[in-house]
Amino acid sequence: MPIMPEHRWLYPIDWPELSRLIRFGRAKGRCEHCRRPHGARVFHLGDGRWWDADRRQWRDGRGRRIRVVGADVAAIVRLTRVYIACAHLNHDPTDNAPRNLAALCQRCHMIHDAAEHRRRRWYNAYRRRALGDLLALLDGLPTIGARQGVPRGTPARHTA
Protein backbone atom coordinates (compact mmCIF):
# COMPACT_ATOMS: atom_id res chain seq x y z
CA MET A 1 0.00 0.00 0.00
CA PRO A 2 1.33 3.42 -0.78
CA ILE A 3 2.34 5.60 2.14
CA MET A 4 0.46 8.87 2.51
CA PRO A 5 2.84 11.80 1.82
CA GLU A 6 2.14 13.41 5.20
CA HIS A 7 3.16 10.16 6.96
CA ARG A 8 6.28 9.41 4.91
CA TRP A 9 8.57 10.98 7.53
CA LEU A 10 7.46 8.32 10.05
CA TYR A 11 8.97 5.50 7.97
CA PRO A 12 12.68 4.65 7.79
CA ILE A 13 14.59 5.62 4.67
CA ASP A 14 15.03 1.94 3.76
CA TRP A 15 11.32 1.09 4.08
CA PRO A 16 10.98 -0.32 0.52
CA GLU A 17 13.81 -2.81 1.15
CA LEU A 18 12.49 -3.72 4.61
CA SER A 19 8.98 -4.24 3.24
CA ARG A 20 10.27 -6.40 0.39
CA LEU A 21 12.31 -8.50 2.85
CA ILE A 22 9.21 -9.20 4.99
CA ARG A 23 6.83 -9.82 2.06
CA PHE A 24 9.06 -11.99 -0.12
CA GLY A 25 11.89 -13.14 2.15
CA ARG A 26 10.11 -14.16 5.31
CA ALA A 27 6.56 -14.72 3.96
CA LYS A 28 7.71 -16.11 0.60
CA GLY A 29 5.16 -14.00 -1.31
CA ARG A 30 2.11 -15.21 0.63
CA CYS A 31 -0.18 -13.54 3.15
CA GLU A 32 0.94 -14.55 6.64
CA HIS A 33 -2.67 -14.82 7.85
CA CYS A 34 -4.58 -16.58 5.05
CA ARG A 35 -1.70 -17.79 2.80
CA ARG A 36 -3.04 -16.18 -0.42
CA PRO A 37 -0.23 -15.77 -3.00
CA HIS A 38 0.92 -12.30 -4.10
CA GLY A 39 -0.04 -11.29 -7.63
CA ALA A 40 -2.31 -14.29 -8.17
CA ARG A 41 -5.92 -14.05 -9.23
CA VAL A 42 -7.92 -16.14 -6.80
CA PHE A 43 -11.51 -17.28 -6.76
CA HIS A 44 -13.26 -16.47 -3.50
CA LEU A 45 -16.73 -16.58 -2.02
CA GLY A 46 -16.64 -13.12 -0.41
CA ASP A 47 -16.60 -14.42 3.17
CA GLY A 48 -12.92 -15.34 3.38
CA ARG A 49 -13.13 -18.74 1.70
CA TRP A 50 -10.92 -18.98 -1.39
CA TRP A 51 -9.69 -21.50 -3.93
CA ASP A 52 -5.99 -22.44 -3.63
CA ALA A 53 -5.11 -23.35 -7.21
CA ASP A 54 -1.64 -24.69 -6.22
CA ARG A 55 -3.10 -27.25 -3.79
CA ARG A 56 -6.42 -27.57 -5.65
CA GLN A 57 -8.53 -27.10 -2.51
CA TRP A 58 -10.68 -24.52 -0.77
CA ARG A 59 -9.24 -22.60 2.19
CA ASP A 60 -10.83 -20.48 4.90
CA GLY A 61 -9.83 -16.96 6.01
CA ARG A 62 -6.96 -18.38 8.08
CA GLY A 63 -5.52 -20.53 5.30
CA ARG A 64 -6.85 -23.86 6.62
CA ARG A 65 -8.26 -26.48 4.25
CA ILE A 66 -12.05 -26.65 4.18
CA ARG A 67 -14.75 -28.43 2.29
CA VAL A 68 -17.23 -26.12 0.56
CA VAL A 69 -20.75 -27.37 1.03
CA GLY A 70 -23.21 -25.90 -1.40
CA ALA A 71 -24.93 -26.78 -4.59
CA ASP A 72 -24.08 -23.79 -6.77
CA VAL A 73 -20.68 -22.34 -5.84
CA ALA A 74 -20.19 -21.07 -9.40
CA ALA A 75 -23.08 -18.63 -8.96
CA ILE A 76 -21.46 -16.82 -6.02
CA VAL A 77 -17.74 -17.13 -6.75
CA ARG A 78 -15.78 -13.93 -7.48
CA LEU A 79 -12.30 -13.32 -8.84
CA THR A 80 -9.77 -10.90 -7.33
CA ARG A 81 -6.07 -10.16 -7.66
CA VAL A 82 -4.07 -10.46 -4.44
CA TYR A 83 -1.58 -7.78 -3.39
CA ILE A 84 0.64 -8.37 -0.38
CA ALA A 85 1.62 -5.34 1.73
CA CYS A 86 3.76 -5.03 4.82
CA ALA A 87 1.62 -4.08 7.84
CA HIS A 88 2.58 -2.76 11.27
CA LEU A 89 0.79 -5.02 13.75
CA ASN A 90 0.71 -2.38 16.50
CA HIS A 91 -0.19 0.44 14.04
CA ASP A 92 3.01 2.34 14.92
CA PRO A 93 5.01 3.06 11.73
CA THR A 94 8.09 3.93 13.78
CA ASP A 95 8.26 0.38 15.25
CA ASN A 96 9.90 -1.63 12.47
CA ALA A 97 10.98 -4.67 14.43
CA PRO A 98 10.40 -7.90 12.47
CA ARG A 99 7.98 -9.18 15.15
CA ASN A 100 5.81 -6.07 14.54
CA LEU A 101 5.68 -6.46 10.74
CA ALA A 102 3.51 -8.88 8.79
CA ALA A 103 2.93 -9.55 5.11
CA LEU A 104 -0.84 -9.28 4.63
CA CYS A 105 -3.15 -9.42 1.63
CA GLN A 106 -5.64 -6.58 1.19
CA ARG A 107 -8.46 -8.50 2.92
CA CYS A 108 -6.43 -9.48 5.99
CA HIS A 109 -4.90 -5.99 6.17
CA MET A 110 -8.35 -4.35 6.25
CA ILE A 111 -9.58 -6.80 8.89
CA HIS A 112 -6.47 -6.19 11.00
CA ASP A 113 -6.79 -2.39 10.70
CA ALA A 114 -10.59 -2.23 11.20
CA ALA A 115 -10.46 -1.24 14.89
CA GLU A 116 -7.78 1.39 14.23
CA HIS A 117 -9.80 2.80 11.31
CA ARG A 118 -12.90 3.02 13.56
CA ARG A 119 -10.87 4.82 16.23
CA ARG A 120 -9.48 7.31 13.72
CA ARG A 121 -12.93 7.92 12.19
CA TRP A 122 -14.35 8.62 15.65
CA TYR A 123 -11.43 10.92 16.55
CA ASN A 124 -11.73 12.91 13.30
CA ALA A 125 -15.51 13.29 13.71
CA TYR A 126 -15.04 14.35 17.35
CA ARG A 127 -12.34 16.86 16.36
CA ARG A 128 -14.51 18.34 13.58
CA ARG A 129 -17.50 18.69 15.91
CA ALA A 130 -15.34 20.37 18.54
CA LEU A 131 -13.92 22.77 15.96
CA GLY A 132 -17.45 23.51 14.71
CA ASP A 133 -18.61 24.22 18.28
CA LEU A 134 -15.64 26.54 18.81
CA LEU A 135 -16.33 28.44 15.60
CA ALA A 136 -20.02 28.73 16.49
CA LEU A 137 -19.06 30.11 19.90
CA LEU A 138 -16.67 32.61 18.33
CA ASP A 139 -19.35 33.65 15.84
CA GLY A 140 -21.63 34.63 18.72
CA LEU A 141 -19.02 36.77 20.54
CA PRO A 142 -19.12 40.55 20.18
CA THR A 143 -16.75 42.26 17.81
CA ILE A 144 -13.87 44.01 19.54
CA GLY A 145 -14.47 47.75 19.87
CA ALA A 146 -18.21 47.60 19.15
CA ARG A 147 -20.70 49.01 21.63
CA GLN A 148 -23.06 46.35 22.90
CA GLY A 149 -26.62 46.72 24.08
CA VAL A 150 -27.13 50.24 22.71
CA PRO A 151 -29.42 50.64 19.71
CA ARG A 152 -28.08 52.60 16.77
CA GLY A 153 -28.76 56.30 16.86
CA THR A 154 -28.82 56.42 20.66
CA PRO A 155 -26.35 58.99 21.96
CA ALA A 156 -23.69 57.62 24.24
CA ARG A 157 -23.95 58.56 27.91
CA HIS A 158 -20.95 60.23 29.33
CA THR A 159 -20.43 60.21 33.03
CA ALA A 160 -18.14 62.67 34.59
Using one digit for the tens of pLDDT, what is the confidence trace for 103-137? 999 999 999 999 988 998 999 998 888 888 777 77
Q: What is the pLDDT of residue 105?
A: 92
Rounded Cα–Cα distance for residues 20 and 86 (Å): 8
Please state, as a whole number, how many other Cβ atoms lie within 10 Å of the Cβ of residue 85: 18
Q: What is the pLDDT of residue 3?
A: 81
Q: Is the pTM for the entire model greater than 0.85?
A: no
Lowest mean pLDDT among 57-71, 80-94, 117-131: 57-71
User: From residue 45, how far is each of 28, 56, 140 by CA, in Å?
Assistant: 25, 16, 55
